[in-house]
Amino acid sequence: MSTLELEINDERLKHIHINKSTPSKLIEIYAKKIMEFIAPIYEIFKDDGEYRDWYITTTIRFASSEIESYRPSPLPANTEAGPIHERLYIYLLTLPFLHFVGEYQRIVESENEELSKYQIEPLFTQALSSPSEGDALLRPVTSLAAIHSFLQTNANELARLVHQATGYELRSSEITNIADETQKVLHAYVFHEWHRTDHDVVNISMADCVAALLAITIQKKIKTKYTPYWKGQSSSEKTVFRLLSHLDTSRDIEELYEEDYIPQGAMLTLYHRYCIAYALLFGRSNRMEAFMRFQIVYLKHMTIAHSHFDLEAGNEYETNINMFCEYLIQYIEDQATSRAM
């Protein structure tokens, strides 16, 4: 990359970097954009009682279908393509983001099928109708820094909840034995929600802990093998590892900010399992799967935008998709208002 940069003049290089954010920044930007589109759907049906989740799920699925089938005006061909070194540089900048979307799609589609084999009871569904029970489950009670102590103190209760949810017999000592892996999964949750956050911030609930423990417990039962996704590489060229081996319990979370030693796909797989476990505990698996599908559909459009060497054309494609999403959500809001009237 550094050698290619030498071949591009400073003004053009600056223009490229303005239009091509780092993969981590792109993921952060698009995560926020997706929530901007989804949040109004949650708000529209907030007072629909027992049918709320059904309305939300159905609406998100409708939105995903519309976005997936939408085709903006075709991107123009590169009539004046840049020199080969510039095109290669742009491609290499984009490649990690393409890896991410491809891997995320593979994980969501394969993991949904894999987890359907393992029954998790909707243990917490009734708690949502009880303010006191809901508060006990959802109120933040611990932090990443204090999670080992919290798991040890509450090991008996957590083991009981895991058993009720799955039927798996789990001794309290086993809770503390998987505390390091559980902390890594909860870090993925915290980072996804708030990005880099002080480890002493209390932002983890009892329900979060149960879902993270389920993610690790299920993995220890099914022993998924993990192979990273690289765009353009066949499966025969990849090395296979056990999923949990990537969490490297000898290294702490702070080191993740210095060296991302956990492969993206391994962390995504476990975080996805956490999300599905959490949704199943509250009887919201269909809603979660609909949300994941929406993410994939939107991100696939973004890969088209970022796969074009004409930066302006790629930006125009992204703008058109975002405008369509905004119009679509407005249409949904208008239809919901008409229904209410």
pLDDT by residue (tens digit) across 311-320? 888 888 999 9
d(CA 68, CA 178) in angstroms, rounded, equals: 40
pLDDT band at 242 (very low <50, low <70, confident <90, very high): low
pLDDT band at 236 (very low <50, low <70, confident <90, very high): very low
Please state the pTM of the whole predicted model: 0.80
Could you write out the DSSP letters of every residue in 288-305?
HHHHHHHHHHHHHHHHHH
d(CA 119, CA 122) in angstroms, rounded, equals: 9
Residues 6+ apart with CB under 8 A from 52: 45, 46
Q: What percent of the chain has pLDDT over 90?
A: 35
Taking residues 51-55, what's their average pLDDT? 89
Taking residues 130-150, what's their average pLDDT? 89
Q: Residue 309: what pLDDT?
A: 73
Q: Residue 76: what pLDDT?
A: 58
pLDDT by residue (tens digit) across 64-87? 999 999 988 765 555 555 777 777
Which 3-state string (H, E, C) describes 111-128? HHHHHCCCCCCCCCCHHH
Q: Check if the beta carbon of residue 212 is closer than 8 Å to that of residue 185.
A: yes
Task: Using DSSP, state whether 94 is helix, strand or coil.
Answer: helix
d(CA 154, CA 148) in angstroms, rounded, equals: 10
pLDDT band at 240 (very low <50, low <70, confident <90, very high): very low
d(CA 7, CA 262) in angstroms, rounded, equals: 33
pLDDT by residue (tens digit) across 13-49? 787 777 777 777 788 788 889 999 999 999 999 887 7
Q: Residue 114: what pLDDT?
A: 65
The winner for highest mean pLDDT among 235-239, 332-336, 337-341 is 332-336
Exposure b/e, 304-339, CB count within 10 A at least 16 = b = ebbbbbbbebbebbbebbbebbeebbeebeeebeee
Taking residues 92-116, what's their average pLDDT? 78
d(CA 262, CA 267) in angstroms, rounded, equals: 7
The CA–CA distances, whole Å, from 327 to 63, 75, 295 equal 11, 21, 17
pLDDT by residue (tens digit) across 277-312? 999 899 888 898 899 999 999 999 999 988 887 788
Handedness of CA 330, 334, 339, 340 (dihedral sign): positive
Residue 230 above 70 pLDDT?
no
d(CA 326, CA 315) in angstroms, rounded, equals: 16
Q: Residue 24: what pLDDT?
A: 73
Residue 257 above 60 pLDDT?
no
Enclosing H/E stretch for 268: helix 264-281
Structure-model confidence comparison of residues 194 and 329, the more confident one: 329
